[in-house]
Amino acid sequence: MTDRLRMSRRALLRGAGSGLGAMAMAAMLAEDAQAAKVHDPTVPRKPHHAPKAKAVIFLFMEGAPSHIDLFDPKPKLNELHGQPMPASFGRPITAMGTAGNTLMGSPRKWKQHGNSGIWISELYPHVARHADKLAVVRSCISNGLNHAGGVSQMNTGDILSGRPSLGAWVTYGLGTANRNLPTFVSMIDEREPFGNAKNWGSGFLPAVYQGTLFRQGPNPILNTKLGDGQTDERQRGRLAYLDQLNRGYMVGREDDTSLEARIRSFELAYALQSSGPEVVDLSQETEETKELYGLNKPETAVFGRNCLLGRRLVERGVRFVELYCGSGSGWDAHTNLEGNHGKWCKASDQPVAALLEDLDRRGMLNDTLVIWGGEFGRTPFNEKGDGRDHNPWGFTMFFAGGGVKGGQTIGSTDEIGLRAVERPAHVHDLHSSILWLLGLDHLQLTYLHNGRAERPTMLGGESMLKELWT
């Protein structure tokens, strides 16, 4: 096709006057209006049904905490300590080839907590005080045998990277509640997580739906202060001129979602220059609140700060916040489980409990869904004598707030904690349940990609954990 025969959408619209031209114009205007709704996350959208939660705070314990040392006591495992695993439990494929190793019991002391009597080990004493707020799911299942696949699936639904993250789907489905802040924020603590930005990416969704990374430390957002000689008026003028140039460049390139995302990022960056410093300024918090989160102690200061900032973000309309604890697989206890979990439980226990208490006393827990868990669990047999291997066949996560019925335990693993045997809940089922609590039906939340109506749960998610809210 020659250039003379080509006609852009804009040229056609200019030449359309009546008849078929007017019909074409109306159709394309409608299409453009729909595209604008899709590409602009600042436009709030109606949920599919009445939501129970307005926002999510996902406390992601990267590296995989040991469920049988924290929330899933196994007396039978202790009885069999040091013995080969009975053949009746099967022989799973393990990441490090440890399926033939002897069983390793848990040395933990366990107690039942709250009126509900939920079992929680001595490693999480602060969280234990909130047992009646928790719905502990002991039968989670993943397909990820290694961290790359496990972290990817827990964030995107697939062990292979490239699909939209759950936070991106939420942004796509609901839009924003505050156009001056990102709708979806991720915060790491120590190192880059497995998969890095793909864990908060938009995949095949328009790039504008990807999450925003907040840095760890006292300055999570860079470059929020105006330079010397700059004024708000001059900054706004420059942004308007840049937007004019970008919009002009987009003519004929309407399918370039990365450019649309870049335009939105400039607008958001400008908004953050005024709203960002206030959000991250923890000096506004009382000393009691900062001590509640453990900001006065080195072992809890990092994750405590992130949890407090997570509350402040949700308080101001951010819909989805993911807080990494142990990013870069900190919880990965292939050896010295005692030292590893001792460190990370101390780092997370008080901040997690503080977040639950703080949200509750502010009246925010009712509509803020708090999720705790890792990419999988750990095996009941030993690795290197004092560690545990990866276990995607049965592990524990807990939910609180956001319409969740607390004080209950859902599902179970077998007698040694190897496999989910009662009410198995695949990652897709967890995701569909989270979306449902936010007012989104995973079967209706679709995006046309390569001729296929893609959804966040791929071909799964039908076994939602309705026990969470019924």
Nearest-5° Cα angle at 167, 276 to 389: 115
The CA radius of gyration of the chain, in Å to the nearest whole number, is: 24
The proportion of the chain whose per-residue pLDDT surpasses 70, expressed as a percent, equals: 79
Share of residues in the chain with pLDDT > 90 (%): 74
Q: What gap in Å lies between CA 170 and CA 14, rounded to an integer?
A: 37
Q: Report whether pLDDT(10) > 50.
A: no
Beta bridge partners of 77: none
* pTM to 2 decimal places: 0.85
Question: What average pLDDT does the structure give for the chain?
Answer: 88
pLDDT number for residue 9: 43
Q: Is the pLDDT of residue 400 over 90?
A: yes
Higher-confidence residue of 12 and 247: namely: 247
Q: What's residue 37's pLDDT?
A: 45
Is residue 460 within 8 A of residue 429, CB to CB? The reply is yes
Residue among 103, 101, 133, 97 at smallest CA distance from 115 = 133
The structure tokens listed for 212 are: 């925003």
* In the predicted structure, residue 30 carries a pLDDT above the cut 60: no
Is residue 346 very low, low, confident or very high in pLDDT (cuts 50, 70, 90)? Answer: very high
Cβ pair 235, 226 in contact under 8 A: yes
Q: Tell me the mean pLDDT in the region 342-350.
A: 98
What is the 3-state composition of the chain as percent helix, strand, coil, each rounded to the nearest 5?
40, 15, 45
- Strand 452-454 versus strand 447-449 pairing type: antiparallel
**How many angstroms separate the CA atoms of 443 and 450, rounded?**
18
> CA 470 to CA 140: how far, in whole Å?
19
Which of the two residues, 15 and 310, has the higher pLDDT score? 310
Domains, the chain, in order of start with CATH, read 51-229+282-468 (3.40.720.10)
Supply the pLDDT for residue 250: 66
| CA distances for 4 relative to 7, 8, 303, angstroms | 8, 11, 61
Instruction: Reply yes or no on whether the pLDDT at 1 is more than 50.
Output: no
Report the candidate in 237, 376, 351, 209 with the shortest Cα–Cα distance to residue 292: 351
**pLDDT single digits (tens) 80-110:** 999 999 999 999 999 999 999 999 999 999 9
Give residue 457's Cα distance to chain centre.
14
Name the pairing type of β-strands 320-325 and 184-187.
Answer: parallel
Q: Select the more confidently predicted residue: 409 or 16.
A: 409
Task: Render pLDDT for 265-300 as a digit per residue (tens, 0 to 9).
Answer: 656 555 666 666 788 899 999 999 999 999 999 999
pLDDT at position 113 over 70: yes
Burial class, 64, CB count within 10 angstroms (exposed 0-12 / middle 13-18 / buried 19+):
buried
Query: Is residue 35 within a helix (H) or strand (E), and if so which, with residue range?
Result: helix 19-39
239 — pLDDT class (breaks 50, 70, 90): low
Mean pLDDT along residues 127-151 = 98
Q: What tens digit of pLDDT does each residue of 168-218 get?
A: 999 999 999 988 899 999 999 978 999 999 999 999 998 889 999 988 777
Cross-strand partners of 408: 135
Tokens 């803020």 sit on residue: 368
Residue (of 9, 3, 11) closest to 31 by Cα position: 9
